[in-house]
Structure formats: C-alpha cells, structure tokens
C-alpha cells in the first residue's frame, strides 16, 4: 500500500512542474501528462488493472493482432497509411469502472459504441474475452505523419504498465522504433515484442537479429513472439499463431502478485526517468532565471544611473544657472553687499518688505524657475532611462521586446504630473520643516517678517548650490547665491540647525527621486516577471528528489 505522504509528494511535484514558467518547447507538459495519466493513478491503486498499450509502426498490423488476441472485432484496422485512428481500450466488464474513471488518462474524453476513427477521444469496449486485471489499448501509430497522432501515441505509451510492441521484418531496425524501446528500457518497463508478418526468408535471420538488438538495448529479458505472414485469412489470424500471445497475457492478468511486482517496478522506472526529465527542466528554468536576472540587473543599472544623474544635477549647482541665479540676485543682491550679518539681515528685511510692494523681482519667479528646472531634470532622466532600457531589450531579448508593451519605449504618460507632484510635495515638506524648526517666538517672527516662501526658496538654493562643476562667472554667481541663502537661514536658525535642515532637505529630495524612478523602472517588470513566475529551479529539484525518494521506498527499488 502506497502511503499518502508519498502520493502527496508526487502531487506536489506535479503541481510544481505545472506552475513554473519554462520555455514553450520544454518537456513540462509531457511530464505533467505522465504524472496525471500514469504515475499518480498507479500510486493511488497499485493493485489496479494493468494497462497494456499496443504500439508500433504504421502498417505493422496492430489492430489485426488485437482482434485476433481478443477473438472479437473490437478495433478497426486502417485502410489508408498512415491513418488517424481513435485509440481503443478493450477491457473486461469487471474493470470497466476503473478505466472509465478520471484516474486513468484523465485528459482524454471517453466514448462508447462504434467510435470515430478521426477522434482523439478514448473509445472503451468491454468483453469477457479479456481477463480481469489487464486491458489492451490499441494506440495510433507512433511514426504517423500526423503530429497529433504521434503526440497521442506518445501520451498513451507513457501511461502504460506494459508495452506490446508490434513491428515487422521491414521496420524492426527503424531508428524511431528503437527510440521508444530505449525509453522502455530506461523505465524498467515490461515489454513484449511481436515480430509480425514474418515470411520464410525473413524467418532465417530477422528474429535472431532482433533479439541481438534487444539485448544490446537492455531488453534481453523481454518476451518476443513471431507471427508468420499470412496472405489470406477470414476474420482473424489463425489461432495457432496467436494462442501463445493470448496465453501469456491471460497468465499475467490472472497472477495478482506478478501484476503487483510489475506495477511497482514500472512506476519506479517511470518515476526515475521522469525525475531526470525534471532535472533537465530545472536546468532550462535556471538558465531562464539567470537570463531574467541579467536583464533586470541591466535595467536596474540604467535607472540607478538616471537617479544618480538627478541627484548630481540637484547637488552641483546646475539647476542654478542663468535665470534662477539672476532672479535671486535681483531679489536680495550679492553677499558682499553686507559688512555684518546684522546689517545684512536688516537690509534683507527691507528688501523683502519692498518685495511685498511689488518693487523688486517677485520671489515667485525664482521659485518657479527652480521648480521648472527640477521638473525638467527628473522627466529627462526618466525618458533617457526608458529609451536605454528599451534599446537593451531589443539587443538582448528581441522576442520579449516584440511581445512587450510599446509604451515602455518612453517614460510613463504620467511622468510629467508625477514629477510636478514630487516637486510640490518636497516643497510642502520644506515648509513644514521650516515651521517646525522655527519653534521659538523670535524665530517665527523672523520667518514671518521675511516671508515663509522666501525662507523656503533660500533653503532650496542652499540644497542645490554646491559649486562642483561650475567655473568662472557661474561659480561666483552660484557661490554668492548659496552664501546669501545660507546667511539668511543662519541668521534665523543658527549654523548647526541650518546644516541639519539642508541635510534633511537633501535626503528627502533624494528619497522622493529614487521612489519616483523606482516606479518608472517597475514598468519593465512586466517583461521579466513572467520568466521567473512559479516554481524556481532549486525548488523543482528539491521537490523532484523528495517525490523520487518516496516512490523508491514504496516500490522497494
């Protein structure tokens, strides 16, 4: 009796494979199909009837043999080669419930009656001529030119407890035949080989050569039957040619212990082979994960550079070129206009007072220039990062880019408003911080006497007016602007407090810029996220190893 923990482990493997993201041409669907069609049903009922799948080459006479073994016309042989034939399962009425249940080949619809040769549903026929404990399934040709036919034949063969392989002297050495036989050997699957339509000339050499090839393939212990070529017969092949095959199958069906041993050996062999396929799948998944990581790292780097660009542009005085500095100078004058801080403060208050009468250039114009400059830097950085990331996708992952949203080629449609909102929110936080810092009545009076917006602009200028990268007249103007703004703030708050205020304002702006560009970068996750959805490669390997160990212990392998 297989324990529930073993079945749960195999079910976990099935779910893990089904849910992981892997290349479209991978083996994942076939792995899930074999778990659903064979391994899980067999583990759930190790004593269930065996399924013997009769497979072979086109025109090898499978259907004729099945009819002769059963002694009834239960399946129709094709007239046109190769034909698209409906798979037919022949079982004893006692076992019909098991084969009609979703436990066996759950992906195939069931059909009773005459059937339809062009259908892919599974037609089930019951007869007392088949012993309980074993059913025969006449499968489509596995070398059919029809892709659907070949896929269905492979699915049915993967669900078999026993393979009855039918070939002929003309086809026994075909490579495709041996691909399936090698697979059978790898699965420890019980194989019965029927060499059909053997004429006198072939009988001298072909059976021995076939046995040699079987031994070399690891199938030396497999049973082989030869069926002479019969030119004319009525409804069925002569019974003397078929009786040994029928007797062998009936003996197996009637031996419950032998069936259990066969089922255990076969399910373990299937599981062992399947785990190897899962390892290959995990390797494919790992390569996909590594590719996604490389893409993400490149895009991360591009947006990190964009973020650094904004931070640098708002730290080295670039935002204070031309209009901004000139309008500030018009408002408060240069720092060498004051011999002492006290005299400067008095003059500054006078200038601010004249501002409210409309005489000097309004401070709002300075504020607007700063806002516009900061906004433009942010939008430009976002556009540049999007363009470069899109270009990188085109060079490294053209198929992914072709499937991606073309809007990723530029920054998001909301970037302008998002940047504007960032500037507003940052300015609002500066105002709140200035108000909180000016707690004493004297400080509040100084702030109010100058104007809260003037103090806010002064703080922004100090944040932006590092002289790195500036030369000549620009250095003098920017430096003077920073000095004037800093002196104004220090007169109100004190040197140490201003230092802390500037650092907090700088950190706050950097944090907001990083968050906005992180949102812009996140749009590209829609390209790479599908590559790493579902079960990881490491998890696949771990769950496969656990399932295999459970089945191995139960099978006594």
Tens of pLDDT, residues 292-321: 999 999 999 999 999 999 998 888 666 655
In this predicted model, what pLDDT tens digit does every residue of 249-268 receive, in sequence order? 999 999 999 999 999 889 99
CATH (domain of 131): 3.40.50.300
In this predicted model, what pLDDT tens digit does every residue of 32-43 receive, in sequence order? 999 999 999 999
- Based on the domain organization, do 210 and 321 belong to the same domain? no
List Cα–Cα distances, 252 to 157, 188, 191, 519, in angstroms.
19, 17, 13, 66
- Based on the domain organization, do 348 and 246 belong to the same domain? no
In this predicted model, what pLDDT tens digit does every residue of 515-532 receive, in sequence order? 999 999 999 999 999 999
Confidence of residue 354 (pLDDT cuts 50, 70, 90): very low
Is residue 190 over pLDDT 70? yes
- Based on the domain organization, do 239 and 321 belong to the same domain? no
What integer pLDDT is reported at residue 166 of this predicted model? 94
Beta-carbon contacts of residue 538 (< 8 Å; ≥ 6 apart) = 282
- Based on the domain organization, do 56 and 171 belong to the same domain? yes
- Based on the domain organization, do 62 and 149 belong to the same domain? yes
The answer to the question of residue 243 being in a domain is yes
The answer to the question of residue 26 being in a domain is no
The answer to the question of residue 423 being in a domain is yes
Domain that holds residue 121: 49-254
The answer to whether the bond into 82 is cis (omega within 30° of 0) is yes
Question: How is residue 164 annotated by DSSP?
Answer: E
- Based on the domain organization, do 204 and 320 belong to the same domain? no
- Based on the domain organization, do 225 and 325 belong to the same domain? no
Lowest mean pLDDT among 366-375, 412-421, 440-449, 536-545: 440-449
Percent of the chain as helix, strand, coil, to the nearest 5:
65, 10, 25
More confident residue, 366 or 128: 128
Residue 88 three-state SS? strand
The answer to the question of residue 555 being in a domain is no
Cα 285 from Cα 287, distance rounded (Å):
5
Residue 173 three-state SS? coil
Contacts of range 331-338, beta carbons closer than 8 Å, 24 or more positions apart: 331/355, 331/360, 331/361, 331/363, 331/366, 332/484, 332/488, 333/484, 334/480, 334/484, 335/480, 335/483, 335/484, 335/487, 336/480, 338/487
Average pLDDT in the 139-165 region? 85
- Based on the domain organization, do 102 and 191 belong to the same domain? yes
Is residue 359 over pLDDT 60? no
- Based on the domain organization, do 240 and 327 belong to the same domain? no
- Based on the domain organization, do 238 and 98 belong to the same domain? yes
- Based on the domain organization, do 78 and 162 belong to the same domain? yes
The answer to the question of residue 75 being in a domain is yes
Beta-carbon contacts of residue 346 (< 8 Å; ≥ 6 apart) = none
Nearest to 64 by CA among 202, 200, 252, 229: 229
Residue 181 three-state SS? helix
Burial of 347 (0-12, 13-18, 19+ CB in 10 A): middle
Is residue 181 over pLDDT 70? yes
- Based on the domain organization, do 321 and 409 belong to the same domain? yes
Look at the chain and report how many structural domains it folds into: 2
The answer to the question of residue 383 being in a domain is yes
Lowest mean pLDDT among 11-15, 26-30, 174-178, 330-334: 330-334
Confidence of residue 410 (pLDDT cuts 50, 70, 90): very high
What integer pLDDT is reported at residue 554 of this predicted model? 75
The residue with tokens 């669900």 is 159
Confidence of residue 379 (pLDDT cuts 50, 70, 90): very high
Nearest to 373 by CA among 329, 420, 417: 420
More confident residue, 74 or 439: 74
Confidence of residue 83 (pLDDT cuts 50, 70, 90): low
Pair 54, 65: CB distance under 8 Å: yes
The answer to the question of residue 72 being in a domain is yes
In this predicted model, what pLDDT tens digit does every residue of 473-495 receive, in sequence order? 443 344 445 556 677 788 788 88
The answer to the question of residue 33 being in a domain is no
* H helices present in 438-524, as ranges: 441-450, 452-464, 472-493, 495-522
């Amino acid at each position: 009796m297989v324990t529930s923990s073993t079945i749960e482990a195999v079910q976990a493997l099935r779910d893990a494979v089904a849910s992981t993201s892997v290349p479209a041409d991978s083996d994942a669907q076939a792995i899930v199909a074999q778990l659903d069609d064979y391994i899980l049903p067999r583990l759930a009922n190790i004593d269930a009837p065996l399924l013997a799948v009769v497979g072979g080459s086109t025109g090898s006479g499978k259907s004729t043999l099945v009819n002769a073994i059963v002694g009834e016309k239960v399946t129709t042989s094709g007239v046109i080669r190769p034909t698209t034939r409906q798979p037919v399962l022949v079982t004893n009425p006692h076992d019909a419930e098991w084969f009609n249940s979703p436990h066996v080949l759950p992906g195939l619809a069931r059909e009773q009656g005459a059937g339809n040769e062009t259908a892919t549903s599974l037609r089930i026929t019951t007869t007392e001529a088949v012993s309980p404990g074993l059913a025969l399934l006449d499968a489509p040709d596995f070398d059919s030119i029809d892709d659907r036919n070949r896929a269905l034949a492979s699915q049915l063969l993967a669900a078999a407890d026993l393979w009855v392989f039918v070939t002929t002297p003309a086809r026994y050495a075909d490579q495709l035949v041996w691909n399936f036989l090698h697979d059978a050997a790898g699965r420890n699957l019980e194989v019965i080989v029927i060499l059909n339509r053997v004429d006198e000339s072939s009988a001298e050499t072909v059976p021995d050569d076939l046995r040699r090839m079987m031994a070399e393939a690891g199938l030396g212990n497999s049973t082989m039957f030869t069926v002479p070529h019969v030119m004319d017969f009525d409804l069925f092949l002569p019974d003397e040619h078929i009786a040994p095959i029928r007797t062998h199958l009936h003996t197996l069906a009637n031996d419950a212990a032998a069936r259990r041993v066969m089922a255990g050996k076969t399910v373990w062999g299937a599981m062992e082979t399947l785990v190897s396929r899962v390892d290959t799948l995990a390797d494919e998944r790992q390569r996909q994960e590594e590719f996604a990581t490389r893409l993400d790292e490149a895009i991360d780097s591009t947006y990190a550079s964009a973020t650094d660009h904004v931070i640098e542009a708002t730290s080295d005085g670039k935002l204070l070129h031309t209009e901004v500095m000139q309008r500030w100078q018009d408002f408060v004058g240069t720092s060498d206009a004051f011999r002492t801080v006290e005299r400067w403060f008095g003059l500054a208050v006078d200038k601010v007072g004249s501002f409210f009468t409309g005489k000097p250039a309004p401070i709002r114009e300075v504020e607007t220039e700063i806002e516009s400059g900061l906004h433009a830097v942010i939008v430009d950085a976002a556009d540049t990062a999007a363009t470069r990331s899109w270009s990188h996708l085109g060079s490294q992952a053209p198929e992914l880019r072709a499937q991606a949203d073309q809007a990723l080629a530029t920054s998001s449609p909301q970037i302008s408003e998002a940047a504007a909102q960032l500037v507003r929110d940052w300015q609002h936080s500066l105002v709140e911080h200035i108000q909180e810092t000016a707690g004493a009545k004297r400080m509040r009076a100084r702030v109010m006497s100058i104007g809260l917006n003037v103090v806010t602009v002064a703080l922004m200028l100090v944040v932006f007016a590092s002289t790195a990268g500036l030369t000549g007249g620009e250095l003098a103007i920017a430096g003077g602007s920073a000095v004037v703004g800093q002196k104004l703030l220090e007169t109100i708050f004190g040197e140490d407090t201003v230092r802390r205020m500037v650092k907090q304002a700088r950190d706050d702006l950097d944090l907001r810029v990083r968050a906005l560009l992180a949102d812009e970068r996140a749009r590209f996750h829609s390209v790479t996220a599908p590559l790493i959805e579902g079960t990881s490669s490491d998890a696949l390997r771990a769950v496969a190893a656990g399932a295999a160990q459970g089945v191995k212990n139960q099978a006594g392998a």
